[in-house]
Amino acid sequence: MSLSYYEWNGYINMKLNIFSYVTGYDTKIYERFAGSLFDTGFDGKLFLFVNKKDLTTLSKLDKSLLEKISIVKCPEYMIQSRHLSEDNDIKYRIHPQNFRYLLYLGFLQQYKQPRYEYSFFCDARDLLFQKNPNEYHIDNDIDMLIFQEDIVIKECIYNTAFMQHVKDQIPDGIYDYINKKAICSGTILVKNEALNKFIVKFCEYMVDNNLDNSSIITDQGLHTYLVYNNLYDCNYKIITNEENFVKTIAMMDHSQLQIIDNQIADKNGVVPYIVHQYDRLDRDTIQKLSCKSKYDLT
């Protein structure tokens, strides 16, 4: 009698839930984002954080798509108070791109996520799903996936400004990563048992260092600072565009991309699961994609 022999390669398929703060857009944005996701066969939960004013827009979605979305109604804006002195208290609005992390934190504290599943926090307006993200294989010991862009920080005026703003607020920090590639804050994947290490740490640094008190977008600068200084205190892995899970294309050479069967692919014909910043492609390419797509990509 022989025994069956199995060898595990250390990978697992994710059970993923997706979170996005998306407000103030036309119906086509919600339709494209949610529709392209569920068209892949994705069977996890999609949580859309919206304002009351967005509910009318969402009601125009096809009923079968709307029923798949978990809608989280949240305030239109958040006011923060800061005590400067006995006679000087200030109040200010938190920038929406920073505000969303506080929304996620509040929601996750109230609604605990299954420990061994994963959460994906992402932008919505400029993101396309092309393959089912639940089918991506992840190392079982990885707590967090960090997505890297194709440009060095010092070569990008935006990322240099993001870094400088964090430096202004945390002057005693370490900023020796200016020669490293930018880290994207528009896509972050976390194992649920490490959620607190991500979301609590991010919000603490943002609020404690007054990084929410600005009209400047600070989430990317702060996320990059926390990653390169190893401050998330978890086992993270940096994922490049070449790995084709999330392809962040704004700063990459678009000649390295091609369109195959109306999907965006790399030069070798590999279709990434997710394309972020697809709207930075040239207008003709977007128009061609849109003409053959069931969604308006313009």
pLDDT, residue 170, reads 95
Over range 157-166, report the average pLDDT.
94
Question: Is residue 254 within 8 Å of residue 246, measured between CB atoms?
Answer: no
**Of 55, 60, 44, 45, the residue nearest 22 (C-alpha):** 55
User: Would you list the domain boundaries of the chain?
Assistant: 11-292
- CATH superfamily entry for domain 11-292: Spore Coat Polysaccharide Biosynthesis Protein SpsA; Chain A (3.90.550.10)
**Mean pLDDT in residue range 180-197:** 96
Q: If you average pLDDT over residues 108-134, what whole number do you get? A: 95
Please state the three-class secondary structure of 266-284 as a single string: ECCCCCCCEEECHHHCCHH
- Give the mean model confidence (pLDDT) for residues 162-171: 94
Greatest mean pLDDT among 2-6, 122-126, 215-219: 122-126
Q: What pLDDT shows up at residue 89?
A: 54
Question: Does the pLDDT of residue 261 top 60, yes or no?
Answer: yes
Rounded average pLDDT over 206-211: 88
**Higher-scoring residue by pLDDT: 77, 134:** 134
Question: Which pLDDT does position 150 carry in this prediction?
Answer: 95
Residue 230 backbone zone (phi > 0: left; psi -120 to 50: alpha; other: beta): left
- Count of alpha carbons within 13 Å of 183, Cβ hemisphere only? 25
Those residues with Cβ within 8 angstroms of residue 71's Cβ, 6 or more apart along the chain or in another chain: 47, 48, 50, 55, 58
Provide the pLDDT for residue 296: 84
Q: What is the pLDDT of residues 9-28, one digit of tens each?
A: 556 678 999 999 999 999 99
* Burial environment of residue 187 by CB neighbours within 10 A (0 to 12, 13 to 18, 19 or more): buried
Are 187 and 282 within 8 A, CB to CB?
A: no
Does the structure show a pLDDT above 70 at 192? yes
CA–CA separation, 10 vs 57, rounded Å? 44
Q: How many CA atoms lie within 13 A of 45 on its CB side?
A: 13
Instruction: Flag whether pLDDT at 4 surpasses 60.
Output: no
- Classify 225 as helix, strand or coil: helix
Distance CA 134, CA 136 (A): 6
pLDDT tens digits for 36-90?
Answer: 999 999 999 999 999 999 999 999 999 999 999 999 998 876 666 555 455 555 5
Confidence of residue 256 (pLDDT cuts 50, 70, 90): very high
Q: How far apart are CA 295 and CA 293, in angstroms?
A: 5
- Whether the per-residue pLDDT at 1 is higher than 50: the answer is no
Confidence class for position 211, pLDDT limits 50, 70, 90 = confident
Q: Which of 69, 47, 49 is nearest to 119 (CA)?
A: 47
Question: Taking Cα atoms as reference points, which of 158, 157, 159 lies closest to residue 175?
Answer: 159
Residue 118 has pLDDT above 60, yes or no: yes
Cite the beta strand spans of the chain per DSSP E.
Answer: 11-13, 16-21, 46-50, 69-73, 79-85, 88-93, 118-122, 127-129, 137-139, 144-152, 181-191, 236-239, 246-248, 257-260, 263-266, 274-276
Residue 242 has pLDDT above 90, yes or no: yes
CA distance 50 to 238: 30
Give the model's pLDDT for residue 287: 87
As a whole number, the mean pLDDT across the chain is 90
Contacts of 111 (CB under 8 A, 6+ apart): none
Residue type (1 letter), 177: Y
Q: At what angle do helices 219-228 and 96-110 cross, to 10 degrees?
A: 60
pLDDT of residue 293: 84
